Amino acid sequence: MSKVVLFTGGSAGIGASAATLLLCTFMGGMRSGSLTGIAQYAVLLAGSIAALGVLVWQHGAASSVLEATALFDALARLKLDTLAAPDRINRVALVFSLVAGTAALPHLVMRGFTARSVEEARNSFLFAVPLAGVVFIAAPAYSALLGGEDIVTGDALSAVLTGLTATAAIAACLALGSGLLLAMANGLSYDLYFKSWDVTAPTERRLLIARACLLVVAALAASAAFTRPVTMLVLAGTAFSLAASGLLPALLLGVWWKRANGQGALAGMIAGLVVCIYYMVAPRYFPYAFYETSSAFSNATELQAAAYRSLRQTYYLADAQTRGAVLTLWEIKVRAIANWWGVSGMLAGVFGVPVGLVVMTAVSLFTTAPSKDVQSFVEDLRKAQPA
Q: How far apart are CA 64 and CA 231, in angstroms?
A: 47
Whether the per-residue pLDDT at 151 is higher than 60: the answer is no
Q: What is the pLDDT of residues 112-130, one digit of tens each?
A: 666 677 677 777 777 776 7
Whether the per-residue pLDDT at 41 is higher than 50: the answer is yes
Q: What is the pLDDT of residue 1?
A: 38
Q: How far apart are CA 252 and CA 43, in angstroms?
A: 31
Q: What is the pLDDT of residues 308-361, one digit of tens each?
A: 888 888 888 888 888 888 888 888 888 889 999 999 888 999 999 999 999 999
Q: What is the pLDDT of residue 34?
A: 65
The residue with greater pLDDT, 275 or 205, is 275
Domain boundaries, the chain: 2-235, 299-337
Q: Kindly state the average pLDDT of the residues 87-111.
A: 78
Check if the beta carbon of residue 351 is closer than 8 Å to that of residue 342: no
Q: Please, is 254 exposed, middle or buried when counting C-beta atoms within 10 Å of its C-beta (0-12, 13-18, 19+)?
A: buried
Lowest mean pLDDT among 168-177, 192-201, 285-294: 168-177
Average model confidence (pLDDT) for the chain? 74
Q: What is the pLDDT of residue 317?
A: 84
Q: What is the pLDDT of residues 370-386, one digit of tens each?
A: 888 877 877 776 665 54
Whether the per-residue pLDDT at 207 is higher than 80: the answer is no
Q: What is the pLDDT of residues 273-282, one digit of tens each?
A: 999 999 999 9
Q: Kindly state the average pLDDT of the residues 141-156.
A: 54
Q: Kindly state the average pLDDT of the residues 221-226.
A: 71
Check if the beta carbon of residue 178 is closer than 8 Å to that of residue 21: yes
Q: Please, is 172 exposed, middle or buried when counting C-beta atoms within 10 Å of its C-beta (0-12, 13-18, 19+)?
A: buried
Q: Over pLDDT 70: what percentage of the chain?
A: 59
Q: What is the pLDDT of residue 353?
A: 94
Q: How far apart are CA 351 and CA 244, in angstroms?
A: 10
Whether the per-residue pLDDT at 51 is higher than 60: the answer is yes
Q: Kindly state the average pLDDT of the residues 182-197.
A: 76
Q: What is the pLDDT of residue 360?
A: 95
If you write DSSP's letter for every residue of 157-217 in order, what string do you get? HHHHHHHHHHHHHHHHHHHHHHHHHHHHHHIIIIIIIITTT-TT--HHHHHHHHHHHHHHH
The residue with greater pLDDT, 45 or 65, is 45
